[in-house]
Amino acid sequence: MILHVDCNSFYASCEQAFRPELKGKPVVVLSNNDGIIVALSKEAKAVGIKRGDAYFQVKDEIAAKGGAVFSSNYTLYADMSNRIYKILVRLAPSVEPYSIDESFLFFSPIKQITEIAFVIKQTIEQETGIPVSIGIAPTKVLSKLANKLAKKASGVLNVEEINLDEALSTYPVEDIWGIGYRYAIFLKDHGIKTALELKQYPLHLAKKNLTIKGFYIVQELNGIPQIDELKPKPKQNIISSRGFSRLVESLEELEEATADYCLEAILKMRKQQSAASIIGVAVMTNRFREDLPQYYNSIAYDLKPPSAFAPLLVKKAIEGLHMIYEPGYKYQKVMIHLLNLVHEDRQQQDFFEEELPKQKALMACFDKINEKYGSHTLFIGTQGVTKNWSMKRNFLSPSYTTSLNDIPKVK
């Protein structure tokens, strides 16, 4: 059996867990640069606030109801996610994390599976303060679906204990995991509007008329597992780009941002054991500011051999920035592109590259130190220390679990 564990309103619940006075109050979490709402507590949903609403639209209403607004505190969310993962590993024979707030658990068929799910739910809630719900089913698609139903019930739902077809008959096809907006339209054109209609779609027709993904989903709805572990495929390209909190004019500040984004992209690339064949840099002004002169430019370099060595990549990126920088503009964004990624072993094709083992050892050490003592413990001088340009996070909560200065106080 598969248990799908999903944290309820994860980001908002993390914030509430450390601020008891916010329990039962509307809480929302904003996107990078405090733009729009990306997560909200059930109390915020209940007063009609939606994902994607802008902060200024809702701030008065939230304040009036005694709620709170937060910037995304990824440090806190990642730590809480980690704790939940460790609890799951302790309690389940096999765990497959799916995202920061969702995991699949695999159990052999046992009678007491629903009771076990309740124990898992209670343990996570007790040990982290984060509420979760659990869907139980023989396949991943059904377990995700069961979880959505569980949120409306007691928080745990086993498809084998309900009249599944009845539940599926009112479940819209577009809410099934793996069915996107376009695919839902395609299915509706074939007369399939509910999960039950898709489940009962004859397999031989499914094979003929649907994509392979659709065919798998039909089988999963019928309790036949088809979707294996979802290992993210190594990415071919990595792009690191974020708007600045304010428009930036000086070359020095752009250099800091370039180096910083470059290292962020390199870290992602190194985690998937890749090296880049091309590095690109682009700068742009804010195209919505029609009152200001507009500028966009980009440049890319071939890397032979492909490289994952941060000092080299940052040097190239800064060189590129110098080539495309034009004074007198107000810049809104720098983008770093690491392209045509290859497996890091492919770097060794170049014979004469004696430096490679040293570079590898240095980067491994760099990554380890930053992992252990926090990102930005070691950094490249160009990244700068002040970062006046960095993301706007005016409502950032303390890092309650990862910084000694930020731990909660009790009376």
Partner 1 sequence: METGFPSPAQGYEEKSLDLNSLFIKKPSSTYLMEMSGRALEGVGIFDRDLLIVDRSLKPKPNSVVIAEFQGEFVCRVFKKGLGGVYRLQGQGVSPIEMDENVHIIAVVPFSVRRHT
Write out the residues near partner 1 by the rule CB under 8 A.
20-21, 23, 82-83, 86-87, 90, 123, 126-129, 400-401, 404, 407-411
Instruction: Pick the closest to residue 309 from 269, 256, 336 (CA basis).
Output: 269
CB of 61 to partner 1, least distance (A): 20
Between 86 and 358, CB nearer to partner 1: 86
Between 390 and 399, CB nearer to partner 1: 399
The CA distances from residue 298 to 190, 276, 326, in Å, are 45, 17, 12
CB of 129 to partner 1, least distance (A): 7
Between 130 and 146, CB nearer to partner 1: 130
The DSSP output letter for 228 is -
CB 114 within 8 A of CB 158: yes
Q: Dig out the tokens for 295 from the structure.
A: 């500028």
CB of 156 to partner 1, least distance (A): 20
For every residue of 246-272, DSSP letters joined together read EEE--HHHHHHHHHHHHHHHHHHHHHT
Between 208 and 411, CB nearer to partner 1: 411
CB of 22 to partner 1, least distance (A): 8
Between 90 and 235, CB nearer to partner 1: 90
The CA distances from residue 337 to 160, 205, 358, 381, in Å, are 48, 43, 25, 21
Between 128 and 240, CB nearer to partner 1: 128
* C-alpha 221 chain-centroid distance: 27
Q: How many CB atoms lie within 10 A of CB 330?
A: 16
CB of 100 to partner 1, least distance (A): 16
Q: Which residues contact 134 (CB under 8 A, 6 or more apart)?
A: 3, 4, 5, 6, 117, 120, 121, 147, 150, 155, 156, 157
Between 97 and 129, CB nearer to partner 1: 129
**Distance separating alpha carbons of residues 349 and 352, to the nearest angstrom:** 9
Q: Dig out the tokens for 245 from the structure.
A: 């909190």
CB of 8 to partner 1, least distance (A): 18
CB of 360 to partner 1, least distance (A): 30
Q: Dig out the tokens for 186 from the structure.
A: 């395609």
* Structural element, H or E, at residue 305: strand 296-307
CB of 322 to partner 1, least distance (A): 46
Between 84 and 248, CB nearer to partner 1: 84
**Distance separating alpha carbons of residues 364 and 359, to the nearest angstrom:** 9
Is residue 172 reached through a cis peptide bond, with omega within 30 degrees of 0 on the bond before it? no
Q: Which residues contact 270 (CB under 8 A, 6 or more apart)?
A: 308, 344, 363, 367
Q: Dig out the tokens for 399 from the structure.
A: 């890092």
Q: What is the Cα Rg of the chain in Å? A: 25
CB of 410 to partner 1, least distance (A): 4
CB of 143 to partner 1, least distance (A): 23
CB of 308 to partner 1, least distance (A): 31
Instruction: Pick the closest to residue 92 from 110, 70, 74 (CA basis).
Output: 110
Between 385 and 410, CB nearer to partner 1: 410
SS3 call for 79? helix
Between 66 and 202, CB nearer to partner 1: 66
Q: Dig out the tokens for 7 from the structure.
A: 């944290």
Between 225 and 398, CB nearer to partner 1: 398
